[in-house]
Structure 1
Amino acid sequence: MSRSPARIAHDQAVDTLRAQLVGQPDGSPIRLAKPTSNLFRFREPPPANALDVSAFAGVIDVDGQTADVGGMTTYEHLADATLAHGLMPHVVPQLKTITLGGAVAGLGIESSSYRNGMPHESVLEMEILTPDGDVVVARPDGEHAELFRGFPNSYGTLGYALRLRIELQETKPYVALRHVRFADAAACAKGIEQACADETVDFVDGTVFAGDELYLTLGTFTDHAPAVSDYTGQRIYYRSIRDRTTDHLTVRDYLWRWDTDWFWCSEALGAQHPVIRRLWPRRYLRSDVYRRIVAFDRRHQLYARAAKLLRQPAREAVIQDVEVPVARLAEFLDFFDTEIGIRPVWLCPVRLRDTAGWPLYPMEPGRLFVNVGFWATVPLRPGQSDGTHNRLIESKVTELGGHKSLYSDSYFNEDEFWSRYDGETYRKLKETYDPKGRLPDLYAKCVGNQ
C-alpha cells in the first residue's frame, strides 16, 4: 500500500526517536521534552537529553470515522482537525492541552463518558515505543494484546504511544444545554441515572455549588441554534449554570467550555475579577497558562512564603478526581462537605463500554460511576500534616468501592497501591516491556513522584 506524505514523515520521526533513545547510556533516566503537562505531580524540568517528541504532535490521517493521530497531539488540535470533517473523538477531555497519548496512558473523562467510556476505549491500535527502543503495535488481539489492555493508567512507565488509531463520531454544529437544579445529592444521583438512560441526551455533567444547590447540565447535538453564547472572553461559563436554564454553544465552544477558566480555578489567580479580566489578554485565558503560573508558584513557594509572613495557616492542595458508584454519590458528597468543604465540585458520570475491562484501573464494566472533581486548597488545623485531607479522601473512596485517578498526589502505601491498581498484571507487563527498569514503576512515579 502507498503511504501518504504524513505517514512517511511519521515513520521517519519514529526512526529518529528510536536512535535518540538507543543512543542514551544505560541507566540514564528517560524523560520526554514536552512543552505542556496536565499532571499535578510537579517535577523538575526535563534534562537536556530528554527525548524530542515534537514530531508526534499532529493528525496523520482522517479516513471515514477513524483517525491516525500522533501521540503528542493535543485535543485542541485533534478536535479542530476532526471537526473540519464533521467528526470528533468519542471523548474529548475538558482541557485543551491534554494530549491523546497522555489521556490514554493516564485517564480522561468528559460529559460523553457515561455512554462512550474513557478515551482509551475508542482506540483501535497503538504504536508504542518501549524503554529498550523497540516499537510495537498493540491491538485488542495479537502478540501485544496484554500491553494494549495494560497501557491505560500506566502513566508512561511502560513506554510512550507514538501513534494511535481511534474511532470518531459524527457531530452537529451546535449543542443545546439544559441546566436542571436539584435540592439534594440523593435527588441529583437519581437524576444522573435517569439522564444517562435517556437516548435523546448526548452529554451529561454536573456542578455542585452547595449541599442544596446541585445542577445537571444535559447537552444535545442540534443543527440549529436561536443564538449562541460566548464564554471565551468576559463571560464565565460556570456562573451561567446558575443564571439560566437553557443555552446554546457551538460544538467547539462546548468542548472547551471549561478550559477558559480552568473550570472555576482561574478565580484564585485573579482572572475572574472584572478589572483584571478586561486587562488579561483573551489568548491567555487558557488552562495551560494558569497551570504554568501554579507551577512557577510551586517551584518558588511564593504563596506559602507570603502566607507564613502573614501568619496564615498552612494549606494542603486537594486536587483530585475520583469515581464512586452512583448509588454512593450522596454518601461521598456528605462526607466531602463535612471533612473537606471545597466548592464548587464537578460531577461527571462514566461507564466503561468495553466488557473486557482494563486491569490497571479495574472499574466494573457496564456499572455507572460518577467522577467527582475538586481542585483547591484546604487549611490545615493545628496538628494536621500535609496530606491529611487527601488520605481521608483516598480511604473514603476505597470504602465506597470507588477509584482514584493518579494525575495528582497520591498517598497510598505500596501494598495498598498495588492491591488497587493490579500489581500482579503490572509487574508482568513491566518485566516484558521494560526488563532493565529504565522507566520508574507506576508506584514510584505516581506516589514517589520520580
Structure 2
Amino acid sequence: MRVKHDRAVDTLRAQLAAQPAGAPIRLAKPTSNLFRFREPPGRQALDVSAFGDVLHVDAAARTADVGGMTTYERLADATLPHGLMPLVVPQLKTITLGGAVAGLGIESSSFRNGMPHESVLEMEILTGSGEVVLARPDNEHRALFYGFPNSYGTLGYALRLRIELEPVTPTVSLRHVHFTDEAKAAAAIGEICAGREHAGERVDFIDGTVFSPGELYLTLGTFGQAAAGLSDYTGREIYYRSIRTRSGDRLSTRDYLWRWDTDWFWCSQALGAQHPVVRRLWPRRYLRSDVYRRIVAFDRRHRLSERVAKLQKAPAREPVIQDVEIPVDRLADFLDFFHTEIGISPVWLCPVRLRDRQTWPLYPMDPETLYVNVGFWATVPLDSDEPDGAHNRLIERKVVELGGHKSLYSTSFFGEDEFWSLYNGRIYRELKQTYDPRGRLPDLYDKCVRAR
C-alpha cells in the first residue's frame, strides 16, 4: 500500500505541475462536511481520490498510517478487527481524517483524548507552494505541524497521517442520566470528567442531549464485553429518541461510534426520514448523514425551501448550524441565553479538554480548562426587520463574551480584526508566507467568513 501511496503522490505532483502558474489549488472531493456551500470545483481541481485508503495498521505499536482523504468509516472498519480505534472518532461516517485534523473534530472520548489532531504523530502535507513536506512535532516543519489544525486547507492538504490508536472491547454500555437543572448538569460534567467515573462505575465516553430547558441527559459510556441484548439504531429505531425513554442501553462498539450518523443526530426529521411510513420505505443503506447532506446541498443550491416559503408567505428562516466550545463553568449561562434568544432543540453537549495540555496556535484553547462543545443544527425564523445572519452573529458575540471558541466549518460573521485576534493571525501569516507565499490556497478569513 505504501508503494501505491508514493505513486499517488508523484501523480498528484504532476497534476499540480500541469496547472497554469499561479492557478488556485482546489481539490476534487466526493464528500464534504462543511456548511459553507459553494460551486463545485472546476476541471482543474486536483484528483485526490487515491488518498482514501488505510495504508497500514500496526497493532503492536497501536498506530495507523492513513491517507488524508480516508473517511472515519473506512478507518474504523480497518482498526476495529484489531481491537483498536482512533482516539477520537468524529460522529459522522464521511468525515475524513485529514478534514478532522485541518478543521477540528470532537466526540465523546474528547474529555480524555482531546481532539483528533492531538493523536497525530506525523503528517505528509501538500503545501500551497507545491511541495510535499513531512511535518512532525520534532523536525524543521514543527511550526506547520502545530499550525495545521484549524487551517481548513489554507496552508496545505494532508496526504498521509500516522495516528495513535487505543484498545477497545466489543461493546459499549450506556447510562442516560437525567437532569432538570443545567447548572447541576454542568457541575456533574466537571466532576465526571475529572474522576472519569460516576456512581462507582468507570466512564470511557460522555456526551449530553438537551431536549428543552430543564430536560437534559448526560450519556455515559463504558467499554464492556457482554454481547447479549444489543440495540440496533441503524434501521427503524431512532437513537436520540431512546435517550428519553431508556435509562440504560448497550451497543456494539461500531454501532456506538456511528449512533448519531443514521439520523445525523436529529436532522433527518426535517427531511421526513423519521416518519414511520417514510422510514419503512427509505432503504437502510441511505439512512446516512452524507445522503442527508446532499439533499440539503441540493436544496440550498436551487433555493427550493426558500421558494416554497415565499409562496406560503412564511417568514424567512436563517440556518443556524454551529459547534461552539464553552468553558464548563459558563455552560449554564450559555444555555440560558440560547434557550431565550435562539430556541433550537435538541442541542448536543460534548466535553473536551486538550489531551496533553499542548496549545495549538490557530485554535488557542486554554489547556487547563474543560470546555463543553455545544452543537446545534436547524433553522430559525427571522423577524421582518432582522437581517440574515442575525442569530449567528448573536451567538458569536455570546461565545466570545463567555471565553469560548467557535468552530469554522459553517457560516461565520466576525469582522476581520476580531477574527485574527481570535484565531492567531500573527502565527497564521507567518505560516502562510512560509508554505504558500504565492497565495495559491485561499486565505483563512476569505474561506471561512467571506466563503470564497
Fold-level similarity (TM above 0.5): yes
The alignment status of 1:134 with 2:131, answered yes or no, reads yes
Amino acid paired to 2:314: Q
Amino acid paired to 2:268: S
Cα displacement (A) at 1:224: 1.0
- Structure 2 unaligned spans of 5+: 197-201
Out of 45, 50, 70, the residue aligned to residue 50 of structure 1 is: 45
Give CA deviations for 1:317-364 in whole Å, capped at 9, x if unaligned: 000000000000000000001100000000000000132310000001
Q: Secondary structure at the match of 2:10?
A: helix
Cα displacement (A) at 1:106: 0.3
- Structure 1 unaligned spans of 5+: 1-5
Aligned to 2:331: 329
Give CA deviations for 1:232-266 in whole Å, capped at 9, x if unaligned: 00000000000000000000000000000000000
Question: Counterparts in 2 of 1:101-112, with a 5 A limit?
Answer: 101-112=98-109
Give CA deviations for 1:295-321 in whole Å, capped at 9, x if unaligned: 000000000000001000000000000
Question: Counterparts in 2 of 1:253-264, with a 5 A limit?
Answer: 253-264=255-266
Aligned to 1:41: 36
Aligned to 1:89: 86
Cα displacement (A) at 1:30: 1.4
Cα displacement (A) at 1:133: 1.5
Amino acid paired to 1:26: A
Amino acid paired to 1:132: S
Out of 101, 121, 124, the residue aligned to residue 124 of structure 1 is: 121
In structure 1, what is the Cα distance between the partners aligned to 2:234 and 2:357? 38
Structure 1 stretch displaced more, 15-24 or 418-427:
15-24
Taking structure 2 as the reference length, what is the TM-score of the superposition?
0.98
Aligned length: 445
Q: Secondary structure at the match of 1:26?
A: coil
Out of 181, 186, 194, the residue aligned to residue 197 of structure 1 is: 194
In structure 1, what is the Cα distance between the partners aligned to 2:99 and 2:384? 38
Q: Percent identity?
A: 75
| Native 8 Å contact 1:176 1:225 kept in 2 | no
Aligned to 2:343: 341
In structure 2, what is the Cα distance between the partners aligned to 1:341 and 1:207? 15
Question: Counterparts in 2 of 1:349-388, with a 5 A limit?
Answer: 349-388=351-390
The alignment status of 1:157 with 2:162, answered yes or no, reads no
Amino acid paired to 1:433: Y
Cα displacement (A) at 1:198: 3.2
The alignment status of 1:422 with 2:424, answered yes or no, reads yes
In structure 2, what is the Cα distance between the partners aligned to 1:279 and 1:81? 31
Aligned to 2:199: none
Amino acid paired to 2:365: M
Taking structure 1 as the reference length, what is the TM-score of the superposition?
0.98
Q: Secondary structure at the match of 1:425?
A: helix
In structure 1, what is the Cα distance between the partners aligned to 2:77 and 2:191? 32
Q: Secondary structure at the match of 1:84?
A: helix
Give CA deviations for 1:153-186 in whole Å, capped at 9, x if unaligned: 0000000000000000000000000000001110
Q: Secondary structure at the match of 2:25?
A: coil
Out of 112, 116, 123, the residue aligned to residue 115 of structure 1 is: 112
Amino acid paired to 1:391: R
Q: Secondary structure at the match of 2:118?
A: helix
Cα displacement (A) at 1:29: 2.0
In structure 1, what is the Cα distance between the partners aligned to 2:56 and 2:252? 24
Amino acid paired to 1:161: A
Out of 48, 73, 84, the residue aligned to residue 76 of structure 1 is: 73
Q: Secondary structure at the match of 1:101?
A: helix
In structure 1, what is the Cα distance between the partners aligned to 2:349 and 2:438? 41
Question: Counterparts in 2 of 1:208-223, with a 5 A limit?
Answer: 208-223=210-225
Q: Secondary structure at the match of 2:451?
A: coil
| Native 8 Å contact 1:22 1:132 kept in 2 | no
Give CA deviations for 1:402-442 in whole Å, capped at 9, x if unaligned: 00000000000100100000000000000000000001110
The alignment status of 1:59 with 2:54, answered yes or no, reads yes
Aligned to 1:7: 2
Aligned to 2:143: 146
Q: Secondary structure at the match of 1:278?
A: helix
Cα displacement (A) at 1:366: 3.2
Aligned to 2:396: 394
Query: What's the C-alpha RMSD, in Å, of the aligned pairs?
Result: 0.7
